[in-house]
Amino acid sequence: MGNYPTRAAGSGRLRDTQPEVADDMANTLTLQCGVTLHLQPVKRMVLQNILAEFGDVGALMNNPALLRHLTGGQQMKALAATEKLFTYCAGWGVANEPPADSDEELLGVLSGGSDGPHVRRANWIRYVLVSGQGEMGELIGAVMALSFQEETAVDEKEQRIRELEAQLDSMKNGAVADTAVSFNASQDMPE
């Protein structure tokens, strides 16, 4: 993420503490500026699509140090994906509205001509509330955790993985055993 102009709301005095996430896995995040954001889950499919834009996620997950050795093109790709991830999590994953006296002109310009409420909210959080990349990351993490952990979300995710596994196992151009068993699964899935 770049060096965005940030200023704290409220007193403007920054605290040295990390943002506070309530214990109940919850749906609030208190920023260093003192503002408490009310979080809400976002669509997991959209999150997954943005995450996939990071490129070789598998290699990075196994060895985060690789981040330091990304080529220029890979860094740009990861940067763009990070921007999208923050905009989505802050714009769609936060319920707070920018206050009535917020700098409308500033938010309008920063929205790049988009009058959408989500992008305005994301810009308000990005340029007015958060105090740095660490806090931006905290917000992304909190919204993602909420989105993937709401009620049966984990079960659904695992189910989705099982479905994809079944889909791919039966469709891939890999080897299959020469037995009738291989062809008798009665699931409604592509081979």
Which residues face 21 on adjacent strands? 29
With CB under 8 A as the contact rule, the residue among 50, 128, 130, 142 that binds other proteins is 50
Residue whose CB is less far from other proteins, 26 or 164: 164
The yes or no reply on residue 65 touching other proteins (CB under 8 A) is no
Residue whose CB is less far from other proteins, 39 or 119: 119
The residues in 140-159 that bind other proteins, with binding defined as CB under 8 A, are 156-157, 159
With CB under 8 A as the contact rule, the residue among 1, 22, 26, 51 that binds other proteins is 51
Dist CA 27 CA 5 (whole Å)? 27
The yes or no reply on residue 116 touching other proteins (CB under 8 A) is yes
Dist CA 122 CA 117 (whole Å)? 9
Dist CA 82 CA 68 (whole Å)? 16
The residues in 11-30 that bind other proteins, with binding defined as CB under 8 A, are none
* Integer CA distances (angstroms), 84 to 6, 11, 41, 156, 162, in order: 18, 30, 16, 25, 28
Residue whose CB is less far from other proteins, 25 or 57: 57
Residue whose CB is less far from other proteins, 64 or 72: 64
* Integer CA distances (angstroms), 6 to 3, 64, 127, 160, 176, in order: 9, 28, 5, 39, 57
Q: How many residues does the chain have?
A: 191
Footprint on this chain of other proteins (rule: CB under 8 A): 43-46, 48-53, 56-59, 61-62, 80, 83-84, 87-88, 91-92, 111-114, 116-119, 122, 156-157, 159-161, 163-165, 167-168, 170-181, 183-191
